Structure 1
Amino acid sequence: MKKIQRHNMYAYRRLRRAIGYLGMLLPIILVLLSLFHFFDTDIQPSISHYYFTNLREVFTGTLCAVAFFLICYQGNGNRVFWKNDNLLTNIAGVMALGVALVPTNPLAGQELAYSLFSINLKVLHYVFAAILFLSFSLLAIHVFTLGQAVNGEIPVSMLNENKIYRACGYAILLFIVLIPISSFPYATLIFETLSLLTFGIAWLVKGRALGDQGKIGEKLYREKNSCNTEDQLPE
């Protein structure tokens, strides 16, 4: 039984890391590929505008992958809405699909090609995006901070995982609020990228991408020899 539980624990961690890596890499890959003349794509003012470029498949494909991973993610649930990981990840997954498949308005000279819709759905796209990032924030602040084992032998460090989750969650909210009130070039792209990077950091820490033994285990998770002793499903 313990062997099955440990296998499930590692499967959950791999899923968390996959979600984190995809979220972090999406804006980085889009911008880097834009620098290559081969793709005939300029750096766009927002991540969403890559829908109308030759990198459309990278944008929609990555978002859809994140969406399906989020929908497949199964946590322990909670009666409180903002602490219910099952509900929040399902909402985030559906919203990610909405962002991928319901485009914002094209820029001048761009065509609304390969879209499921031919009408102006810019507002709906923004609603999907806002709920998506709000879900990310709630997961980091209220869900990821649940369940850390109490360990009086190891003090809470400045790098404790719960502090990182809260910092990432509030940073996501801050960056999203800054988008509509900022007017400098590429402001939307920059703040969307920062939001996805902080989102990815939270999921990678939760997925223990850096490991959890030795000093890392003590500083981040208040645990010792975690990989050898932990045998229950993740919180």
Structure 2
Amino acid sequence: MAVQTNAAVTDQDATTVKRLRVGVGVVGLALPVVLPIGNSIISAHLGLLDSLSGSYYTHMRNVFVGGLCAIGVILLCYRHNRREDLWSSVAGFFALVVAMCPMEPPASVVAHASTTQKVLGVVHTSAAALVFASLAVFCLRLFRDPAEPDGPLRQRVYLGCGIVILLCIVGIVVTGLVHYAGSGGVTPVFAGESIAVFAFGAAWFVKSDAIADLARASGLTGVAALWR
């Protein structure tokens, strides 16, 4: 029986890490697009959601919960180094909490929310904030670790995505405090959540080397070198 070498183990681990990063990236990029479009198609009513979390009370509930569960499980299974393992476990756990604890139902769905629904809503919001904060740490610190340097373009993407996530968190909080409901059918919560989710999805997709790998497979060596 052949003995598996350390190199083979390392290669398999690296491949698994790439695939997990791609999984998080694809789901993150897809959710802000799929949820509002899917709900508009199924409900035959063109319009945006009040928030991504509000999808729980729409036709896209199963997609929303399933997407969050997928992200949570992937992050819990993600293993790369000690620091990333810790933060991915934190983000994964709270992503599952967000999925399992729905936001407080809007008045259009439930006129008077119960105490349980209100408590679950607080847990949902708190867990969502912790998820976004954890993913911002990935973009701003862990993905930009000098010990594992990526190319300058990728470094700028991570930095930009991390800043965007933080700005979205601050924007949601500030607009909530001043009771700004948005305009043109776009609420600050929906815009902030959608942009933040898209940003962290983009960062994880870039970190997975998927762009460089696709470019190399297509013979675009210049593009591959740019995204190394």
Provide structure 1 residue ranges, at least 5 long, that are not aligned to the other structure. 78-83, 151-155, 222-235
Task: Quote the residue 1:19 is aligned against.
Answer: 24
Task: Quote the residue 1:203 is aligned against.
Answer: 204
Task: Quote the residue 2:138 is aligned against.
Answer: 139
Q: Distance in 2 between matches of 1:76 and 1:148?
A: 11
Alignment of 1:126-205 (within 5 A): 126-146=125-145, 147-149=147-149, 157=152, 159=153, 161-182=154-175, 183=180, 184=182, 185-205=186-206
Task: Quote the residue 2:101 is aligned against.
Answer: 102
C-alpha displacement of 1:87: 0.9
Q: Alpha-carbon deviations, 1:65-119, whole Å to 9, x = none?
A: 1100000001211xxxxxx11110000011101111111111113149xxxx545
CA RMSD of aligned residues (A): 2.2
Q: Alpha-carbon deviations, 1:151-197, whole Å to 9, x = none?
A: xxxxx64x2x2221111111100111111223214221111111011
Name the count of aligned residue pairs: 204
C-alpha displacement of 1:3: 3.1
Aligned CA distance change for structure 1 residues 38 and 123 (closer, same or farther; 3 Å): closer
Aligned CA distance change for structure 1 residues 3 and 216 (closer, same or farther; 3 Å): farther
Q: Using the TM superposition, name which of 140-149 and 18-27 deviates more.
A: 140-149
SS in 2 for 1:145: coil
Q: Distance in 2 between matches of 1:125 and 1:10?
A: 33
Provide structure 2 residue ranges, at least 5 long, that are not aligned to the other structure. none
Q: Alpha-carbon deviations, 1:24-70, whole Å to 9, x = none?
A: 11121111112214577963210111111221111111101110000
AA in 2 matched with 1:131: L
Give yes or no for contact 1:52–1:111 (8 Å, CA) kept in 2: no
- Aligned: 1:62 with 2:61: no
Task: Quote the residue 2:227 is aligned against.
Answer: 220
Q: Distance in 1 between matches of 2:44 and 2:38?
A: 7
Aligned CA distance change for structure 1 residues 186 and 118 (closer, same or farther; 3 Å): closer
Between Structure 1 and Structure 2, the one with more helix by share is 2
Give yes or no for contact 2:105–2:117 (8 Å, CA) kept in 1: no
Normalising to structure 1: TM-score of the pair? 0.79
Identity %: 29
Q: Distance in 2 between matches of 1:9 and 1:39?
A: 44
AA in 2 matched with 1:121: L
Normalising to structure 2: TM-score of the pair? 0.81
Give yes or no for contact 2:17–2:80 (8 Å, CA) kept in 1: no
Q: Distance in 2 between matches of 1:39 and 1:92?
A: 35
Q: Distance in 1 between matches of 2:75 and 2:171?
A: 26
Aligned CA distance change for structure 1 residues 191 and 149 (closer, same or farther; 3 Å): closer
